[in-house]
Amino acid sequence: MHPTLNIAIKAARRAASVINRASTQLDLLTVQTKSPNDFVTEVDHAAERAIVEVLREAFPGHGILAEEAGELGPLDGQDSEYLWIIDPLDGTTNFIHGFPQYAISIAQTKNGVLEHAVVYDPTRNELFTASRGAGAFLNDRRIRVSRRTRLNDALIGTGFPYRNFDHADAYLAMFRELTQKCAGIRRPGAAALDLAYVACGRFDAFWEMGLSPWDMAAGILLIQEAGGLVSDFAGDSAQMQTGNVVAGTPKIFGQVLPIIQSYRPATLKG
């Protein structure tokens, strides 16, 4: 395993200890609203600080993009080709309600290219990891996307619009057609885990709009290293910039993307 990936795993486990302690005292949480239906707790902040501390100690010259703290430049003040992209608690709304579907997501890019990824589910002790060119793993076992090839056999994950409802009608049209053409649709509520589930074959495809880079960075590399495909709604590789993502096994991806595109609003970038 790459030493950089080991540091990311250490950071994820450090954050998990913060989250697990807090999960037993949910009634004591202070919850703040960042925007409608977008929540943050002191656990998000504490978990993020734990991750940043580990990464700063090991890589003081790297930049960091974190959900709560925003952009943090290298400690030496120099420009860096390396950037860590962090979501300390993806699925905060689930966490607040004691719904056990949330994860820590950590990814590293080098000159904008994804290099390492960790998605850690502390409730199930499931550790998804990937390094560019070295494959994807779940608890040290190699994972691949599913072998399903027919859309009507496929289980698809999605995320409902929850912050910006400008394109809700288009989303519901996508949902309606895909519901009729696949085996089932699930909406667990933590995009990082949803993408990891595509990588290990639990989902055959996934789509969502309006995500942030920290929601998807690690999951994208997991899927790519597990043999899957990822794009934005235009079929391009700008999903980190546009916030709109489609992912899946090569065959299912090829059947889902045209349906997404048929309802994609002209005003939607990517």
Strand, helix or coil for residue 214: helix
* Contact predicate 203/222, CB 8 Å: no
Q: Which two tokens stand for residue 123?
A: 């409730």
180: left (phi over 0), alpha (psi -120 to 50) or beta: alpha
**Residue 204 marked as a ligand binder:** no
- Is 83 annotated to bind a ligand? Reply is no
CA distance 87 to 211: 12
Is position 67 annotated in a ligand binding site?
yes
Is residue 89 marked as binding? yes
| Residue 23: exposure state from Cβ atoms within 10 A (0-12, 13-18, ≥19) | middle
Rg of the chain on CA atoms, in Å: 18
How far apart, in whole angstroms, are the C-alpha atoms of residue 44 and residue 18? 9
CB 23 within 8 Å of CB 98? yes
Nearest to 64, CA basis, from 117, 107, 116: 107
The annotation places the binding site at 67, 87, 89-90, 215
Q: Which residues are annotated as a binding site for Mg(2+)?
A: 67, 87, 89-90, 215
